[in-house]
Structures are given as C-alpha cells and as structure tokens.
Chain A
Amino acid sequence: MVDSNGMQQLGSGSEIPDVKDILEKSRSMVTLLEQGQTDAAVQLLNELARMRERELFAELGRLTRHLHDALKSVRLGDEVSELVNEFPDARQRLGYVVRLTEEAANKTLSIIEGLIPKAEAVSSQAEQLLEQLQTFESTAGVVNSETAALHTGLRHYLKMQINSGWHEALSEIMMAQDFQDITGQIIQRVSLLVGDIEMGLVDILRKNPFAGEESSRIGAREQGLEMGPAVPGIDDADRLDNQDDVDQLLMEYGF
C-alpha cells in the first residue's frame, strides 16, 4: 500500500481487514442512515473504526518486536552502561576545574588585597616627602652641585612613585578575576546538562531499552528564564553585548 506521499504504509497483506466486510458494513451504514436509524449507523461506524485500531495495534506490536531485535543485535544496553559510567567522572572533572579556578582567583585576590594598601602607602608617603623636599629646597636653597644632583634624583624618584599606576593596575588584575565567575557558571551549566543526560540514560537502562517517553526529558530545561552567561558563537541570539545596550533597553522601561 502506498499513500499519497508515496510512503509505504504500515500493514502487510495478512493484517488488511476483509475488503468485502468493509464494503458490506459501509453499505449497511448508508442504508441505515437513509432510513433514519442513526444510532444503528453510528454503531456500525464505530465497528469500522475498531477494525482500523486493531490493524494499528498489530502494526505497533510488530514494530516493537523489530526494535527489540535491532537493539539486541547492536548490544546497545552494554554500550549505554559503559557510557553512563563515564558521566560521574566527567562531572567530577568539571567540578575540579571550577574548584581550581576558584582557588587560583582567591589566591590572586589575597595577594592584591595585601598589595593595594602598600601601593597606597608608598604613593602617599612619596607625596609627603616630595612636599617636604620642596619646602626644604625653597628655604635652604641649593647648597652645592652635588646635593643639587641628589635633589633632582630624589624628586624624580618620588614623582615616579606617586605616578606609578600600581593601584590602578592592581584594581584591573582584581577585576580580571571575574573570569572565574563566568567560566564557573558555564561549566556548572554543562555539568547539569551532563547530569540530565546521565539520568535519562539510567532511566532507559533501568526501565526498558526503548522507553521513548522517559528519554524525552533528557536535556529538557526548567520552564521560564534560562540562566547562565553567554558563550560566544553559541548563545548569540537576543543578547545585549555591553552595558550601554543594557542601559538603552532599561531606559525604555523608565530607567
């Protein structure tokens, strides 16, 4: 049997209901309808529908048997079991990456937190000393050429300390540690996905090798707003690239 789309229809010769039977029932139905015996006509229609259902169920049964044989022949169960065993390991590795980057970022932050007050102290002391030096120079004047060179050197050194830019650089190194938050969130999201797939596969293994309904929730996310930082090239849709765009959008909402 080939339908209008040229597809081979389900059902082989032996399952096709008797055409004569169908014709007979259809003719009787028309006669009953013409006679106004609607109830009897509907009953016949239901019978015809049931014949079609029986055919469908028989087909489903045959498909299931085929699938079962196919799965058995490729030993999918064993392969899935092996795969499932790899998942906890994968999640542990991802967790380890998050932990290592967190430790590294915290270590960097500790050093910076220790250095910032020192950088501030150096710069403010240099400012004080430069002021004192200038006061001394204006009152005592230049004593001789040797001290003049020393004064010039000192002034140069103190100005260098004042304008070192250390504090700004340290702040930038501190801000750069936010990579840990962004990468950590992305890794956590991947880890969750791996966990979902693992659970789905375990379900398939535990319940039935072809439990389609159970496996359909693999990778399904909770309803509502999706969370997590954007990964360039993957999540580009409808995202705002910078703070200016965010501010622009918020302005439309009265900000």
Chain B
Amino acid sequence: MDKNMKVLIVDDFSVMRRIIKNLLRELGFSSISEADDGKTALPMLQQGSFDLVISDWNMPLMTGIELLRAIRADQRLQAMPVLLVTAENKRENIIHAAQAGVNGYIVKPFTAATLNDKLTRIFERIAAEKAQAIQ
C-alpha cells in the first residue's frame, strides 16, 4: 500500500473526520484532504488526483451512497477505491453499497486495526485484479 497516496475523507461530522485523519496519519498517510458532504467532495475528486475516498453514508445534500454512485458513473473516476465508514448497519444498506460497487464497508464504532485491515485488503484486491488483467 502506497502511503503517499492522496486520500479524501468525506463526513459531515468534524469530529469523525478528525479521528479518521489521525488514524490515517498513524498508519503513515500524510496527504489527506477533507470534505463535509458528497456535494463538496465530488468536484474535489473531479479536479484533484485522489487515490482513495473514505466516506460516511448519512450526510446532508449528497449521501455517501449517492457519492459512490456518482463516482462509478463518472468515466474518469469510476475506478476510484471507495471505503464507506458508517453507522448504517442494516443488511439492506450493506447490500445496496455492495451492489453500487463499494470497495470496503466499515461500521462505526470501529477500531484503528479494522481501518488498517480494510485498507490493506482493498489495495491487495486492486493489485490482484490488475495482475489478472495483465495476464
């Protein structure tokens, strides 16, 4: 996992953005940006060269699942890894996220180890898919 990658944290609660940012820093990430909702995040993603999105689900204006769908519908962004970190623990929500093409799903409250584990898996999987595509 490249620790120099650019990460965008999307959450309407400043406290949660701060917690995730601190966790990422401890894991060795240094290029971290923040957005307070999907509507702010989408233009940032379209303009910037982000490598990973970590988003909440329940946000005003544009929710995490809407952001995920917008990313998958955007030709330049569709391959962007998206990790949802959310308090939504209903079966229905998780299935919707999986079908919309989420790369990882973490339910709050979570631990630093869970975040590290899911991030590692996301990039292992992407690497494996790339290797398969080359073969």
Give residues in A with beta carbon < 8 Å to B: 102, 105-106, 109, 112-113, 116, 171, 174-175, 177-182, 184-185, 225-230, 238-243, 246, 249-250, 253-255
Contact = CB atoms under 8 A, between A and B. Distances in A.
Counting from the closest, the 4 A-B pairs by CB-CB distance are A229-B87, A253-B98, A227-B58, A181-B16
9 contacts: A102-B15, A178-B110, A181-B11, A181-B13, A225-B92, A227-B58, A240-B90, A246-B89, A246-B94
Contact of A250 (B105, B111, B112): B105
What is the interface of chain A mostly: helix, strand, loop, or mixed? helix
B46 to A, nearest CB: 25
B107 A240 contact: yes
A250 B93 CA distance: 11
Nearest to B87: A229
B108 A182 contact: yes
Contacts of B88: 225, 227-229
Interface residues of B, number: 35
Given A106-B14, A227-B88, A238-B91, A182 B109 contact: yes
A182 B11 CA distance: 12
Contact of A240 (B16, B58, B91): B91
Contacts of B47: none
Interface string B26-61: 100000000000000000000000000000011000
A253 B104 CA distance: 12
B107 A180 contact: no
